Amino acid sequence: MSEDNDDNRKGEKPLRKNSAVPSSRFRRVSRLGALATQVAGNVVANGAGQWLKGQRPALSSLILTPKNISNIANQLASMRGAAMKLGQLISMDSGDFLPPELASILARLRDDADPMPKSQLVDTLDEAWGADWQNTLLYFSFAPVAAASIGQVHKAITLDGKILAIKVQYPGVKESIDSDIDNVASLIKLSGLVPASVDLNTLLTHAKQQLHEEADYQREAKMLVRYKQALAKEHAKVNSLFVVPEVYAPLTTAKVLAMDFVNAAPLDVLQQEDQQTRDIAMTALMTLFFKEVFDFRLLQSDPNLANYQFDTKTKQWVLLDFGATREIPEAIAEAYRKLLISAAHNDTSAMLKAALSIGLVTQKHSDTQQQAVVDIGMEACEAIRWQGPYDFGQTDLILRLHEKGMALTAEHDFWHTPPADALFIHRKLGGLYLLAKRLQARIDMREAAKPWLVERG
């Protein structure tokens, strides 16, 4: 079997320097404990100096010094797993509206993870495939082509010439999810910079659930097969716009996922395409979202931009990472379809009825609170009411929605957590809006949603 140790291959983004993943729960807790001690030591040192000068600094200003920010970000990234993923989820939910100090930590966590060293990788594969696995493959690249929060991806070729992408989970990640999230959350809360509008406890609960599902690679394989089958049932034109890898069952285990290796480029390449290509590509993704919710009732709920790659030759999307795929209950799907129809017809009373059905608001809320939620919902669906292509590149919709959301809690004293299904649907749609803005796409959203804007008997 041949191997490739060059992690600077042409056309691929260089990965970070290898670092071992702390695999035991004790070692992971110890890492966070050491980090907290280090941060505390810097706080005492900096605070003492300022007190001697007659200053009374805020605790958050002492914690979030450039040195502490760098230490926190690098330590969480080196731990991978839930420690890294939680930062991604908070960043994804709160977007660009977090304080700059906290945003700088989370930005590091959105980047590539540190790959694990070859020795740890081999031990992990020995456990999953048996000690003689290297003799069963024609080729295996020990230099990963990607490294993320839960696992890293390697290229391999079977003895019969099949080219595969092998996703290998970091050791100890699955077993330490709950403790990682609780410990990192305590560290983040200590900063005092998480806005009151961010319901961190609810986020932590959903983060744990999502991460336990994402860490089960056999579940992801099943979801990948189901999604690929649902997509295959669609009209040939729609299906041809997307490529979904096929699972390779013989090498797939609970912590190793084997699938087709699909050649595609990161999202940046699509930004270089002409306006028409970007519009068509993004319209296809928005239409697929509607199909996921209303037809497939199977939603790939993680809007991480790394999950979308593009083939500039075939003009196809390559969809990756189905660990966060969720089933959408029929009742929720139908309620959202009615909400979509109410937005298209600017019918606020129908939208309130749909919002109550979904659980976005309850009968316990006052008329003023209910109306405020409907106003936000109507504004969020602005693109559906727009006649013709909606210019995502020029809109300030996301900023307006954030301002209204902050006012909802500050002015209307509205504190309510929607059902998990709603949170994941909103997260996916929000991610697509951000992607459309990044691509400066112009999309006729009303036309894209047209098949689902018809009342049913």
The alpha carbons of the chain give a radius of gyration, in whole angstroms, of 23
Nearest CA among 337, 353, 260 for reference residue 291 = 337
Catalytic residue list: 302
Q: How far apart are CA 278 and CA 102, in angstroms?
A: 32
Distances (CA, A) of 223 to 261, 310, 326, 454: 18, 21, 8, 29
Q: Which residues of 346-370 are buried (b: 16+ CB within 10 A; e: fewer)?
A: eeeebbbbbbbebbbbeeebeeebb
Joined tokens for residue 422:
């709603």
The conformational region for residue 4 under phi > 0 = left, psi -120 to 50 = alpha, else beta, is beta
Cα 385 from Cα 396, distance rounded (Å): 16
Rounded CA-CA distance 164/260 in Å is 5
Amino acid letter, 161: G
Q: Which residues contact 144 (CB under 8 A, 6 or more apart)?
A: 7, 15, 115, 152, 153, 154
Distance CA 275, CA 148 (A): 31
Q: Kind of pairing, strands 316-319 and 242-243?
A: parallel
